[in-house]
């Protein structure tokens, strides 16, 4: 069924690559126009390279190849003014705002005692404060449209069940889960739905890059990685990375008119990772 997002405009953070680009393309396939932002630089302490301006330009190219409109800006989700400016630019050009996906995130994996203050501040700032800033930037524009809308917050399986060697990330993602339910209550009077999605292991720069040294960390705490096992893992017990489109399909459902009474939901898309 095509056209499930026809006529709608969606704001997406972290849209230069990975899950964010996947969400933009999946929604564009169904008729949405996109406002896309990304920091387009590496964050200190993160072991994998950040997205680039060229990555964001490629997202623009691919959305436009689907014959959809897109407004792209380089902005840091930790900067509330930059987000508000990006929203204003997008609405001015595209005419409205119907939804948002607070997707931008980073992950730093270490033993608890090895995290620095900057590691904590960057993780909480991007993964939690950035989500708070995103909702505060988009909600007024959606309210002003008078048509209701939908906001999706990308949390994590670790926003339901903590993973080892990931304390700041766990704290941020649990916070996102709480924000989703809080915003769902307060924005309901405007017919704005707010839900969170909780991905497991996704094959992105973050998903594969952050976990690169987790096996070495586990040697000092044997068995902790077993808590990350899901029902659909590889035969040897290793993580079976899903493709970003799996998450994008869930995003599409929650943003579309197919979920008019779905709000305050924490939706696992994780192969069972957080279910036991």
Which residues are designated catalytic?
169
Residues in CB range of 164: below 8 A, 6 or more apart: 214, 217, 218, 221, 224, 225, 227, 228
Look up tokens 């490629």; give the residue.
Answer: 58
Strands in the chain per DSSP E: 9-13, 33-38, 70-74, 99-102, 149-154, 192-199, 266-269
Integer Cα distance of 241 and 193 in angstroms: 29
List 269's β-bridge partners, or say none. Answer: 199
Instruction: Give the other-Cβ count within 10 Å of 79's Cβ.
Output: 15
| Residues 5, 186: Cα–Cα separation, whole Å | 25
CB-based contacts of 29, cutoff 8 Å, min separation 6: 2, 66
Within 8 A by CB and 6+ apart from 257, the residues are: 4
How open is the CA angle 216-199-213, to the nearest 5 degrees?
A: 10
């Amino acid at each position: 069924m095509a056209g499930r997002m026809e006529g709608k405009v969606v704001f997406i953070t972290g849209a230069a690559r990975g899950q964010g680009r996947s969400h933009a393309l999946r929604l564009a396939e169904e008729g949405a126009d996109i406002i896309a932002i990304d920091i387009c630089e590496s964050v200190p302490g993160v072991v994998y390279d950040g997205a680039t301006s060229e990555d964001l330009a490629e997202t623009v190219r691919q959305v436009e190849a689907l014959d959809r409109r897109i407004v792209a800006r380089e902005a840091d989700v930790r900067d509330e003014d930059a987000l508000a400016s990006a929203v204003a630019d997008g609405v001015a050009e595209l005419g409205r705002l119907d939804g948002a996906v607070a997707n931008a995130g980073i992950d730093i994996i270490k033993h608890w005692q090895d995290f620095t203050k900057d590691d904590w501040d960057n993780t909480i700032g991007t993964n939690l404060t950035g989500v708070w800033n995103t909702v505060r930037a988009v909600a007024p524009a959606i309210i002003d449209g008078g048509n209701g809308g939908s906001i999706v917050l990308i949390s994590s399986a670790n926003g339901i069940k903590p993973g080892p060697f990931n304390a700041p990330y766990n704290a941020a993602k649990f916070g996102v889960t709480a924000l989703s339910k809080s915003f769902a209550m307060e924005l309901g009077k405007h017919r704005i739905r707010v839900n969170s999605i909780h991905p497991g292991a996704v094959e992105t720069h973050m998903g594969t890059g952050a976990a690169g040294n987790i096996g070495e960390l586990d040697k000092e705490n044997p068995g902790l990685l077993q808590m990350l096992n899901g029902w659909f893992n590889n035969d040897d017990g290793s993580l079976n990375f899903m493709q970003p489109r799996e998450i994008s399909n869930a995003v599409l459902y929650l943003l579309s008119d197919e979920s008019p009474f779905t709000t305050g939901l924490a939706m696992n898309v994780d192969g069972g990772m957080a279910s036991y």
